[in-house]
Structure formats: structure tokens, C-alpha cells
Amino acid sequence: MLDTDLPAPAMAVRSVLANRGIAPALALLNDRTDYRFTAIYKLNGEVMHAAHAFDRTSEYRTWLKVVPLGRSFCQYAMEHGEFVTRHASKDQRLTNRPYAGFVESYYGQLLTRADGTPYGTFIHFDLEPCGIQESEIAFLREVIPAFLDYLN
């Protein structure tokens, strides 16, 4: 994680989003964490489609594209508005999950359209255990809704 000293981080994210687009804004948010991936997934029926994804290693991953909602941590973010697990294989809430052994850490936040219907989720995730600080979660709660103005 790059230590960036921005005088107004929320304004910086909004500025990058407005002037450079979603992908650079996701990269900026990813840089604030230890997560490898940062993405926005769009709900389409019972499937989550990667509308925008950033991989810090810049590898192309086809498995990032489409995930059944029932096999995704996004189901919990959509159900509760937010979901976080730092070590999924040791998380007692996920003992009987059918998708064990792949994504190990996850932070997700529900994205809701102006009319109240769910768009999908903003997520950070990794194949290795890692965490997110409460202050970063509070920051994401502040800036993530701005992405909805740029999503179709």
C-alpha cells in the first residue's frame, strides 16, 4: 500500500472519478489498501458481472468477469448493505459456504440506484488474508456513492 498524503482524500477520489474515470478511481482506492483487487460488480438477475475491475498485478483474469450471486460474498453485502471478512476460511460465519478456497478476504458495499433498487456492489478482495481498517471503511462509505453517477 502506497502511503499517499492527500489533503482531502475524498475530494481527490471524486476529482479522479470526474476527470479520469472509474478505472483510475478504483486504482486510487485500491492503493489505499493491501487488497489485490478492487471492483464494481453489477447485479443482473442472479449473476454479478464485473462492470469495472482493477488488479494491482495487472494480470487479466477471466474468472473476475461473471460470478453467480449465490457463490459470491456480494450476496452478503447486498443483504446487509456491507460485508467484510479478513480470513474467509477461518470465518465462522462462512463455515458451510459452497465457494471455499478461493477469495480469502473481502470488503463489499451495496450500491443502490436513486430509485432504491440495487445496482450491485463495490468491493475490495484478495486471494490471501488481509484486512481493512475501520477508518478506511468509513472513508469508503463517504466516497463510494459518488460512483453511481458514473455507472450505467
pLDDT tens by residue, 84-111: 999 998 888 887 765 556 889 999 999 9
Cell triple for residue 132? 481493512
Residue 117 is placed in which grid cell?
433498487
Residue 24 burial (CB < 10 Å; 0-12/13-18/19+)?
A: middle
Global pTM value: 0.89
Which domains, and CATH codes, for the chain? 9-150 (3.30.450.40)
**What are the grid coordinates assigned to 104, written together?**
480469502
Asked whether the predicted pLDDT for residue 132 surpasses 50, the reply is yes
Q: How many beta carbons lie within 10 A of that of residue 21, not counting itself?
A: 12
State how far the Cα of 74 lies from the Cα of 46, in Å rounded to an integer. 11
User: Can you say how many angstroms the Cα of residue 104 is from the centroid of all Cα atoms in its chain?
Assistant: 14
Alpha carbons within 13 angstroms on the beta-carbon side of residue 16 total 16
**What confidence score (pLDDT) does residue 3 get?**
44
**The pLDDT of residue 1:** 42
- The per-residue pLDDT for 63 is 66
Q: How far apart are CA 23 and CA 50, in angstroms?
A: 12
Residue 142: how many CB atoms within 10 A of its CB? 13
- What residues form DSSP beta bridges with 86? none
Rg, Å, the chain Cα set: 15
